[in-house]
Amino acid sequence: MKFALQRYAFPFDYFSFLPKIRTFAAVKYVALPTQQKNKKKKKTPMKKETFEAQRAFAGEKKPSMLRRCVGHDYTGRQMYMITMVTEGRRPLLGEVAGRSDAPEGSPDQPHIELTELGQRVADEWWATSQHHPEIEVVALQMMPDHLHGILFVKEKMEAPLGMALRGFKQSCNRHYRELVLGVPHVALATQQTGPRNRRGEDRSHGLLFARGYNDRLLLRAGQLDTWFRYLADNPRRLLMKREHPDLFRVQRNLQAAGFTFSAIGNRFLLDRPVRLQVQCSRRLTEEEIQAKVAECLAAARQGAVLVSPAISPGEKAVMRAAFDEGLPLVYLQENGFTDLAKPGGKRMEACARGQFLILAPWEHHNEQLTIRRGQCLALNDIARKLCEGR
């Protein structure tokens, strides 16, 4: 059964559903004359426990399949992109077929050949609206070991979205037991209702999907179109990974210039004889930036590999121009990689061509952190040493 991205055609402006953003006028407080004469009170240092509890992303870190948006109302009107993976990432839902370079509309266009179980899972996803009229099913992309879907909660629900997704999983489990295990539906110990100890429980029997799911909230214009493109491109990206496994596997403990990296892409770019660091002051004028772009592109066209974390506007301009021209690049980034990480968008195609290498000297973190000045200096120093070959 051949499967391509399925999506619902909206009869309305999809972005109009977003909740109105509240804006608050800034209020300036002016001290009274009697207060201005008083000396400033000595501030009491905040206790470490209080600081840790109040800072962003405080508390125990959770895998992406178990994290939820803090403070978000999952019963309210909202659009989501949902990802679920099979237990143990088993390819039970189908197999990817075609060629990554095949044109759209051709017989070899990348697509998923669904198993019978995969077809039933797809049918259950599209039936979500029948069980929960408040939810509109927008899109579905099946993959061998996971699925991506887009749901639109049109109106207030009595229970959170997670309860509807739980019901979907339970329906899929019935098909899994019938088609894979060959047993009738029974309530296993791991699915009994009522309180139970989740920690350490055996989740490997009778469950199609792994525990939890990943959700992304639609928050800005253009985001839904990005989701559609991402879902539709999933089969092609999987084929590219299989056709070039060494370029898309996260490489751990890669040694270079006295540093240890995690890497994705063409590591042999580090063996090129000419490597050129791209470092630009933030004080450069637009004319000076364009001159730097021309200088670096000329060197790269002669075989030099450009190396940079692309932090300043000038560095970004150089690396972007070289990337668009298909020239060889080594990009240093602050955040590391998870085991299943892969480059996004055009970076994936650049890796497949052997044009691109991403290096991360530090471990992965879930938080969206602003890069610090010390890290910027460290990344530029690493780039310099990579180019010096030390």
pLDDT at 365: 87
CB atoms within 10 A of CB 166: 13
- The β-bridge partners of 366 are none
In a shared domain, residues 264 and 320? yes
62 pLDDT tier (thresholds 50, 70, 90): low
In a shared domain, residues 124 and 220? yes
In a shared domain, residues 191 and 312? no
In a shared domain, residues 343 and 306? yes
In a shared domain, residues 239 and 250? no
- The β-bridge partners of 169 are none
In a shared domain, residues 174 and 256? no
For residue 352, is pLDDT > 90? no
Domain assignment present for 114: yes
In a shared domain, residues 234 and 260? no
pLDDT at 20: 36
Give the amino acid at 272: R
Domain assignment present for 47: no
In a shared domain, residues 209 and 67? yes
For residue 88, count CB atoms less than 10 angstroms from its CB and return exposed for 0-12, middle for 13-18, buried for 19 or more. exposed
Domain assignment present for 28: no
For residue 288, is pLDDT > 70? yes
For residue 50, is pLDDT > 90? no
Sorted by sequence, the CB contacts under 8 Å of residue 98 that are 6+ apart come out as 108, 109, 110, 111, 235, 239
The CATH number of whichever domain residue 260 belongs to comes to 3.40.50.450
Q: What is the mean pLDDT of residues 150-162?
A: 95
Q: What is the mean pLDDT of residues 50-57?
A: 50
Which of 211, 243, 275 terminates a domain? The answer is 243
Domain count, the chain: 2
More confident residue, 302 or 26: 302
In a shared domain, residues 85 and 189? yes
Domain assignment present for 53: no
* Claim: this prediction has a pTM higher than 0.85: no
Q: What is the mean pLDDT of residues 115-128?
A: 96
Among 41-45, 207-211, 276-280, where is mean pLDDT lowest? 41-45
Give Cα 167 to chain centroid, integer Å.
26
316 pLDDT tier (thresholds 50, 70, 90): very high
The CATH number of whichever domain residue 110 belongs to comes to 3.30.70.1290
For residue 205, is pLDDT > 80? no
Residue-number span of the structural domain to which 183 is assigned: 2-9+63-243
Q: What is the mean pLDDT of residues 64-86?
A: 90
In a shared domain, residues 215 and 327? no
Tell me if 37 sits within 8 A of 263, measured CB to CB: no
For residue 186, is pLDDT > 70? no
Which of 190, 225, 243 terminates a domain? The answer is 243
According to DSSP H, which parts of 22-102 are helical?
A: 33-37, 48-54
Among 55-69, 74-88, 288-302, 345-359, where is mean pLDDT lowest? 55-69
In a shared domain, residues 194 and 311? no
Distance CA 159, CA 284 (A): 55
147 pLDDT tier (thresholds 50, 70, 90): very high
Which of 208, 243, 278 terminates a domain? The answer is 243
C-alpha angle 254-258-264 in degrees, rounded to nearest 5: 25
